[in-house]
Amino acid sequence: MHKTKVTVALCIAALTPLFFAYPVHAAEPAESKMQLIKTFTGSLSPKSVAASQSGLVSAHNMMYQHSVTIYDSRSLELITTVKDSVSLTSLGIPGFSGTYRGAPVEGAYSPDSQYLYFTNYSMYGKGFTKEGHDVCSPSSGFDTSYLSRINLADYTIDAVYPVGSVPKVVSVSPDNKYVLVSNWCSYTVSVISVEKQKLVRTIKIGRYPRGISISSDSRYAYVAEMGGSNIHRIDLDDFSKTLIPIGSNPRAIKLSPDDKTLYATLNISGKVVSWDLENNKMIKSVKTGLAARSLALNGDGTSLFVVNFNSGTMTKLRAADLSIIHTVKVCKEPIGVTYDNETERTWVACYEGSIKVFQN
């Protein structure tokens, strides 16, 4: 039975107290403000949005629409809608018959812009009997799921990869060697080899792994343990781990272009924090709203964008000192955000059924 959209907040309600106020900041000069230029509606229930940095932006519409919608980031037009249905058998997965539906959660593009990978919250079809849930553990016994790959030459799903239970974030290493997936209910990260086209490693993380960011040299992957207080740094040469005690309930993470600073949202406190990776210490934190969720960073690393789910806002921050430049009302439940470098536009996924595009 499909979950209602309320379930996205269940685990957060279990983990966190409610907060009832967020700070109001004085307006900055007009040139620094974000301006709404486009709203997409229709058959949308976007959990996230992702920019390819080569002319595309995708929205991942979960089990409510069973689709990925792909847009031209320049013309702001819908290019196509890709349904999540696949024949697992024809894609090399034995033991299945018929067509199976997925539930797109998050997406990531290959560095060469040939492919878009997206995670499926659950799979639906014969043999899948226990749909995932946001409150869970490895002992819950929820079905494992699959990562899907869209070939951007013809917008068809041409590959699937087995991962854990309730996969969330996906990230591709800049050298195109690995695809990493955080598995919310399995408490693991799946590592897929692009060359071998198969799962090569499963790494234990802890309660509710979520955000992933990979260094520009592809040496380290950083994974947020949202059910705890740590970022796990994984050495992609030997898969050893070290912990970064960044603060309670880290959700989304981004690395600065020089890989020296890690930015994270802390959902419980509604904060964005910056962490000095060279000296292993906190630089600064700032409260942006209620339930700070997804995080985006512009190409030169000067500006951060965070959506505050329970405040209905998006906040633009100066990355250097986390000073708040602008906070804008977006929609009832902004949950995903991405930044397109070429057009200098920020795209926001509104969970109840729209996408908002802002010019910076």
* HEC string for 305-338: EEEECCCCEEEEEECCCCEEEEEEECCCCEEEEE
Greater pLDDT, 157 or 21:
157
List the structure tokens of 1. 């039975």
Predicted pLDDT of residue 317: 97
The pLDDT tens digits of the residues spanning 219-266 come to: 999 999 999 999 999 999 999 999 999 999 999 999 999 999 999 999
**Residue 46: band (very low, low, confident or very high) from pLDDT cuts 50, 70, 90:** very high
- Secondary element (H or E) of residue 33: none
**268 pLDDT exceeds 90?**
yes
Tell me the average pLDDT across 300-327.
97
**19 pLDDT exceeds 80?**
no
DSSP string, 161-214: EE--SSEEEEEE-TTSSEEEEEETTTTEEEEEETTTTEEEEEEE--SSEEEEEE
**Residue 71: band (very low, low, confident or very high) from pLDDT cuts 50, 70, 90:** very high
**350 pLDDT exceeds 90?**
yes
**Residue 17: band (very low, low, confident or very high) from pLDDT cuts 50, 70, 90:** very low
Would you say how long the chain is, in residues? 360
**Residue 143: band (very low, low, confident or very high) from pLDDT cuts 50, 70, 90:** very high
Q: Taking the model in full, what pTM does it have?
A: 0.91
Q: What is 31-359's CATH topology? A: Methylamine Dehydrogenase; Chain H (2.130.10)
List the structure tokens of 97. 């018959």
Give the bridge partners for 143, in sequence order: none
Domains of the chain, by residue range, sit at 31-359
For the beta sheet containing 48-51, the strands, ordered from the edge strand earlier in sequence to the opposite edge, are 48-51, 56-60, 67-72, 77-83
For residues 153-175, one letter each, b for 16 or more C-beta atoms within 10 angstroms of the residue's C-beta and e for the rest, the string is eeeebebbbebbbbbbbbbbbee
The pLDDT tens digits of the residues spanning 81-123 come to: 999 999 999 999 999 999 999 999 999 999 999 999 999 999 9
CA distance 149 to 160: 6
DSSP string, 97-157: -S-BB--EEEEEE-TTSSEEEEEES--BSTT--S---SS--GGG-PPP-EEEEEETTTTEE
Average pLDDT, the chain: 92
Give the bridge partners for 2, in sequence order: none
The pLDDT > 70 percentage for the chain reads: 91
Predicted pLDDT of residue 214: 98
Q: Is 188 in contact with 205 (CB distance < 8 Å)? A: yes
**Residue 8: band (very low, low, confident or very high) from pLDDT cuts 50, 70, 90:** very low
**Residue 9: band (very low, low, confident or very high) from pLDDT cuts 50, 70, 90:** very low
